[in-house]
A = this chain, B = another copy of it.
Amino acid sequence: MDRRIKIAIDAMGGDSAPEMVVDGLAVAKQQLPHVDFLVFGDETKVGELINANRALAQVCEIRHAIDKVENGDRVAHALRKRRQSSMRLAIDAVKEGEAQGVVSAGNTGALMAMAKMVLKTMPGIDRPAMATVFPNQRGSTVMLDLGANVECDANNLVQFAVMGEVFARRVLDLPNPSVGILNVGEEDVKGHEGVREAAHILQQSPLPIHFYGFVEGTDIGAGTVDVIVTDGFTGNIALKTIEGTARFVGYFLKRALTSSPRAKLGAWLAKPALRQFKHSVDPRRYNGAMFLGLNGICVKSHGGTDKLGFSNAVRVAADLIEKEVNERIREDLNQLNEISAVNEAAEG
Contacts and interface: CB of A to CB of B under 8 A. Distances in A.
A273 B259 contact: yes
Interface string A195-234: 0000000000000000000001111111000000010111
Interface in A100-130: none
B74 A150 contact: no
Contact of A245 (B184, B245, B270): B245
Interface stretch (A43-51, A158-166, A276-284): A276-284
Contact of A268 (B220, B232, B251, B266): B266
Interface residues of A, number: 64
A248 B150 CA distance: 27
A217 B239 contact: yes
A238 interface: yes
Contact of A266 (B150, B243, B270): B270
B263 A269 contact: yes
A233 B236 contact: no
Contacts of A217: 236-244
Contact of A247 (B218, B263, B270): B218
A192 B281 contact: no
A191 interface: yes
B270 A263 contact: yes
Given A184-B232, A238-B217, A256 B244 contact: no
Contacts of A247: 218, 221-222
A309 interface: no
B259 A276 contact: yes
Given A238-B237, A259-B273, A248 B267 contact: no
A344 to B, nearest CB: 32
Copy tally for this chain in the complex stands at: 2
Interface in A5-21: none
Contacts of A241: 217-218, 220-221, 238, 241-242, 245
A281 B151 contact: no
A242 B245 contact: yes
Given A242-B245, A276-B256, A137 B251 contact: yes
A156 B89 CA distance: 45
Given A191-B150, A241-B245, A236 B184 contact: yes
Contacts of A273: 256-257, 259-260, 262-263, 266
Contacts of A274: 256-257
B251 A262 contact: no
A124 to B, nearest CB: 25
A258 to B, nearest CB: 8
B263 A191 contact: no
B252 A277 contact: yes
Contacts of A269: 262-263, 265-266, 269
Task: List the 10 shortest-distance A-B pairs measured between CB atoms, nearest first.
Answer: A217-B240, A266-B270, A266-B269, A221-B248, A221-B244, A263-B273, A256-B277, A217-B241, A218-B244, A245-B245
Given A74-B189, A262-B270, 6 more contacts: A217-B244, A238-B238, A252-B280, A256-B277, A266-B267, A266-B273
7 contacts: A218-B240, A218-B244, A221-B241, A230-B237, A237-B238, A245-B246, A266-B266
